[in-house]
Amino acid sequence: MNFSKGKYVFLLFLFLAQLGIAPVAAEGIDFFKGTFQEALAKAKEEGKPIFVDAYAVWCGPCKRMAKTVFTDAAVGEFYNANFVNMKLDMERGEGAKFRQAYPVSAFPTLFYIDASGEVMHKQKGAQPVDGFIALGKKVLNKVDHSKGMEAEYEEGKRDPDFILAYVTALNKSNKSSLKVANKYLTKKKDYKNPTNLKIIYEATTQADSRIFDLLITHKKAIEKIYAKEDVENKIEQACRATVITSIDFESEDLLRDAQEKMKKHLPKKSSLFLLQSEMDFCVAMGNAEKYVKCCNDYVKKEIKDDDKRLHGLAQEIVKHFSKDQKAMRQAEKLAKKALDSDEEVLEYHLTYATILNKNGKKSEALKVAQSSMGLAEKSGQEKFVRKLIQIIEG
């Protein structure tokens, strides 16, 4: 295959992203430590599918996923919330027993299994962070927790416990529960009823909704049922969901609505929220100039001297604004600051060299790339560095 220099640079960053360093401190997936049978019981109790990483200790791609994907903060947040997660070595112990019922012919194999033990999806091969999250979402779309409830609802079932269960099931199935909750709460205005308060809490999925306003109005009463931290998290999640909607509809009004509600109801978290949401909106709208301004504030107020996050932000700029000179100058500064902070990280050298080359500073880029060869040899990645040097020299 023949690639242009630009495509090589793009592939380089994709590779670095897979090797690389997340822009925030990673917490990753919390893997269940019990047996598979115990995991099935837990899945049934929590109403979640099971994710199983079927691996072998000698498998290179398995090790790479364990190091760079399972430890990612976004991956952990998504998989911990939606799955019972297991890692099983297919050649020993519990994994060998699992393999008898669920055959494996390649490593890693990623299993998604429902609480009855039926395989919902089986994926061979390692996945990058975005692909792994997308795979999980695809599996969740197959799970309809509201199955059977719709018919009962259409037949007129409206008791509070049923509505609460239906709203919860719709949310778990990634379906909107707002219509059901709104229709019920418009008629049932007894907000001292604990079940009705639970319905308000469960149905709060967007900040731009009447349900959100009800949550705020009855926040003190709801905090007697749920922990204050959980209620605050619900408010933040609803505001984040509205930011996503603002991006989908290219609506700055919705963005401002989410930001204002964060400032009003969660002031301690609002500063960071405003910066992150503004940057996300700028990326979606292709507004490089405003993104750079927000980026400067984000570094000063939040990232400061955190080399991992500086490096991750530099990569984000290249990913979204590689054709904007001002943005790329900002990426260069961030990449250099990350490298100056820790010169023992090979990825920092390669990112900085690639950005320098992209910014027309060929001799500087070559010098940085060549200086990283010692580190590359220690980690067995010298071929990759030589390829980067060829790109720069070419």
Same domain, 153 and 246: yes
15 within a domain of the structure (yes/no): no
pTM, to two decimals: 0.68
**Percentage above 90 pLDDT, the chain:** 80
pLDDT value at residue 10: 41
Of 140, 174, 193, the position where a domain reaches its end is 140
- Which among 371, 374, 361 has a CA at the least distance from the CA of 339? 371
Of 140, 169, 193, the position where a domain reaches its end is 140
Same domain, 209 and 227: yes
The predicted-structure confidence for 92-118, as pLDDT tens digits, reads as follows 999 999 999 999 999 999 999 998 899
12 within a domain of the structure (yes/no): no
298 within a domain of the structure (yes/no): no
pLDDT value at residue 27: 72
Same domain, 117 and 187: no
Q: Tell me which DSSP letter residue 235 carries.
A: H
Q: What share of the chain is helix, strand, coil (3-state, %, to 5)?
A: 65, 5, 30
360 within a domain of the structure (yes/no): yes
- φ, ψ of residue 286 to 5 degrees: the values are 70, 30
Same domain, 72 and 182: no
Residue ranges of E strands in the chain: 50-55, 84-89, 109-113, 119-124
> In total, how many domains does the chain have?
3
pLDDT value at residue 248: 94
The predicted-structure confidence for 357-375, as pLDDT tens digits, reads as follows 999 999 999 999 999 999 9
Same domain, 260 and 154: yes
The predicted-structure confidence for 223-279, as pLDDT tens digits, reads as follows 999 999 999 999 999 999 999 999 999 999 999 999 999 999 999 999 999 999 999
**Could you tell me the pLDDT band of residue 20, with boundaries at 50, 70 and 90?**
very low
Same domain, 182 and 259: yes
20 within a domain of the structure (yes/no): no
CATH number of residue 323's parent domain? 1.25.40.10
Same domain, 168 and 228: yes
Instruction: List the helix and strand counts (H, then E) for the chain.
Output: 22, 4
| Domain of 158, in residue numbers | 149-269
315 within a domain of the structure (yes/no): yes
Same domain, 230 and 322: no
Task: Average the pLDDT over 39-56 and give the result.
Answer: 93
Same domain, 171 and 264: yes
The predicted-structure confidence for 308-346, as pLDDT tens digits, reads as follows 999 999 999 999 999 999 999 999 999 999 999 999 999
291 within a domain of the structure (yes/no): no
283 within a domain of the structure (yes/no): no
